[in-house]
Amino acid sequence: MRQKDRKAIRDRRKVRPNRKKPSSHIVFARLNKNFIESMSCRLCTGIIRSLVESENPIRIQKMGDKTLITKLAIPAETSSYQEITIEFDDGSAHVTAVCRHCSGKLSNDMLEELYVTDLEQFERDEDEGRGPNRWDKLLTRVPTSYKVNK
Ligand SMILES: [Zn+2]
C-alpha cells in the first residue's frame, strides 16, 4: 500500500475526528487475535456481536452426583445488529453494520465516519496480507445516502 493512500485515509479522518479509537469497536480474544469476541456499534457503542452459548453441548460428563456440561462459546449477531448499504457519489455501494437504533437516523457525516473506520480496517487487512484493495476507487468516493438492509 502506498504512503499516499495511507495519508489520504488520515486526512479523511482529520475532517471528522472519531469519537472512539479506530479499531476499538472490535474486541479480539486474548488468546487468538484473529478471533473476534465482540463488536460494538461505532456510533453509540451498543453491542452488535457477542459470544453466545452453543445450543448443543460438546461434552457431558457425569461426576458423582453432578453433571458437567461443556458448551462452546460462539460469536453471534445480537438482536440489535443491523446491516446497511452505504451508497456513494460514483454509483458504488458498501455494506457495513451498525446497531438497529442508529440505523434509523444516519446523517451523511455519520456515514462518512462509518466509511472512514472501514477504510482503516481495509488498511489493517491489507497490512496483514488480506488485499490488495483498489485504493484509487475507495479513497475518492463519498457517501451520499444509505439503505437499511433486510
Ligand atoms: Zn448504535
Q: Any idea where the domains of the chain sit in the sequence?
A: 3-148
What does each of the 150 residues of the chain score in pLDDT, given as a tens digit? 899 999 999 988 887 665 555 456 777 777 777 778 899 998 888 999 999 898 899 999 999 999 999 999 888 999 999 999 999 999 999 999 999 999 999 999 999 999 998 999 899 889 989 889 999 999 999 999 999 999
Q: What per-residue confidence (pLDDT) applies to 76?
A: 92
Q: Give the distance (Å) from ligand 1 centre to CA of residue 49.
A: 12
Q: What is the pLDDT of residue 16?
A: 64
- Residue 98 has a pLDDT of 94
Residue 65 has φ and ψ, to the nearest 5°, of -95, 5
Q: With CA atoms as reference, report the closest residue to 35 among 23, 45, 26.
A: 26
Distance 38 CA to ligand 1 centre (A): 14
Ligand 1: distance of its center to the CA of 15 in Å? 21
Please tell me the distance between residue 77's alpha carbon and the centre of ligand 1 in angstroms.
Answer: 14
Question: How high is the pLDDT of residue 57?
Answer: 94
What does the pLDDT read at residue 101? 95
Residue 104 Cα to ligand 1 middle (Å): 10
What is the whole-number distance in angstroms between the Cα of residue 119 and the centre of ligand 1?
Answer: 19
State how far the alpha carbon of 22 is from the alpha carbons of 9, 101, 122, in Å: 11, 21, 12
For residue 142, what pLDDT is reported? 96
Q: What is the pTM of this model?
A: 0.79
Q: Cα(140) to centroid of ligand 1, in Å?
A: 26
